[in-house]
């Protein structure tokens, strides 16, 4: 049932948004704290703000960490859906933020938190059976932000996942009026990506490019590895390696150990998820699974211990991903792929 009144509100917002978008662009030069209006596009929706949000709810861990990295803990009214532990650098800031749901937040939990802004890493948290749709929230004057990284169909073609990640920082900086800090963060991470890319220039090219398998998790004895659409594929490109499962059009496809052996990668990256704490999550367990496998244990990469360990959570796009990228670039050097 559509409420005429509510439809009216939505229309008003839409009109106001149209009016504000130019104002926002003009106001981008203004001082961070004095910004009164802001307007950004997020995954196909135009969001507009009368002032910096004061009660933001982050619906998942990546958005939570991004907001904490931007120093916005005082503007947060809640977090939800923690996949693993919050890293040490955010712990004290995180402690002050209420957890509205340990798992995926429901529409009731979200509304009960009284948010004026909602941020999520992906659009699939905004469904009727979860937090409610973005349209419903818009009608309540609660803009819903979705990370550009998980919005493939709405993004301009050709932008790398890292560029999309940085655009999130800049957009959030705009919304909260902390452009400067967001700009610094983006610039710093851009530099880190560029630095990691330096090794690519010195790595072998063409057919000589080292291939890599990312072992994310082992569930029911089956390995989950990085496919083409996930961030590791892009990370490999940056550091001058090639993801051995680039032919699989998924983020984290489940494959067989035999298939891993068949791809015979030059080196292997293990995602350490020990902080998540489920069976098979630690790097040691994943190592054991490979050395214990009759075929995989015979692979040169396993035999010669050409195995890197990175925090598994950093292999998904987040504010921490450049850290894993750095580890990867270092690892390439240590393994002797960079001349």
- Catalog residues that contact another protein under the rule CB under 8 A: 1-2, 100-103, 106-109, 111-112, 114-115, 122, 124, 127-130, 132, 136, 140-142, 250-251
Q: Please tell me what DSSP assigns to residue 226.
A: -
- Minimum Å gap between C-beta 67 and another protein is 20
> What's the rounded Cα separation, in Å, for the pair 2 and 176?
32
Phi, psi of 219 (to 5 degrees): -125, 125
Give whichever of 144 and 261 is closer to another protein, judged by the CB atom: 144
- Minimum Å gap between C-beta 303 and another protein is 34
CB 202 within 8 A of CB 220: no
- Minimum Å gap between C-beta 252 and another protein is 9
In whole angstroms, how far apart are CA 111 and each of 37, 105, 301, 303?
A: 24, 10, 51, 54
Give whichever of 14 and 30 is closer to another protein, judged by the CB atom: 14
H or E segment and range at residue 270: strand 267-272
- Minimum Å gap between C-beta 6 and another protein is 9
List of residues 6+ apart from 327 with CB closer than 8 A: 308, 310
- Minimum Å gap between C-beta 181 and another protein is 29
Give whichever of 98 and 221 is closer to another protein, judged by the CB atom: 98
Give the bridge partners for 45, in sequence order: 42
- Minimum Å gap between C-beta 282 and another protein is 25
Phi, psi of 301 (to 5 degrees): -60, -40
Give whichever of 70 and 226 is closer to another protein, judged by the CB atom: 226
Give whichever of 10 and 23 is closer to another protein, judged by the CB atom: 10
Give whichever of 101 and 241 is closer to another protein, judged by the CB atom: 101
In whole angstroms, how far apart are CA 260 and each of 173, 224, 285?
A: 42, 10, 17
């Amino acid at each position: 049932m559509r409420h005429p009144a509510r439809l009216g509100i939505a229309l008003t917002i839409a009109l106001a948004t149209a009016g504000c978008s130019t104002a926002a662009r003009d106001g981008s030069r203004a001082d961070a704290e004095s910004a009164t209006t802001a307007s950004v596009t997020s995954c196909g929706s135009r969001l507009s703000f009368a002032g910096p949000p004061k009660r933001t709810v982050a619906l998942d861990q990546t958005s939570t960490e991004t907001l904490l990295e931007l120093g916005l803990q005082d503007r947060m009214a809640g977090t939800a859906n923690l996949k693993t532990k919050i890293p040490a650098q955010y712990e004290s800031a995180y402690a002050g933020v209420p957890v509205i749901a340990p798992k995926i937040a429901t529409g009731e939990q979200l509304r009960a938190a009284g948010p004026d802004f909602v941020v999520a890493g992906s659009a699939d948290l905004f469904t009727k059976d979860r937090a409610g749709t973005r349209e419903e929230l818009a009608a309540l004057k609660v803009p819903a932000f979705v990370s550009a990284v998980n919005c493939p169909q709405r993004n301009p073609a050709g932008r790398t996942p890292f560029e999309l990640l940085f655009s999130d920082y800049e957009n959030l900086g705009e919304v909260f009026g902390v452009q400067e800090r967001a700009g610094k963060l983006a610039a710093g991470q851009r530099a880190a990506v560029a630095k990691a890319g330096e090794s690519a220039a010195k790595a072998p090219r063409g057919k000589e490019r080292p291939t890599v398998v990312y072992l994310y998790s082992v569930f029911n004895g089956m390995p989950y590895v990085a496919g083409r659409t996930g961030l590791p594929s892009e990370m490999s490109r940056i550091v001058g390696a090639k993801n051995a499962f680039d032919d699989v059009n998924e983020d984290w496809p489940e494959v067989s150990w035999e298939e891993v052996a068949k791809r015979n990668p030059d080196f292997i990256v293990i995602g350490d998820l020990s902080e998540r704490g489920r069976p098979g999550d630690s790097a040691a367990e994943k190592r054991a699974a490979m050395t214990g496998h009759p075929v995989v244990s015979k692979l040169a990469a396993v035999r010669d211990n050409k195995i890197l360990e990175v925090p598994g959570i950093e292999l998904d796009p987040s504010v921490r991903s450049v850290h894993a990228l750095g580890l990867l670039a270092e690892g390439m050097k240590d393994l002797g792929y960079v001349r």
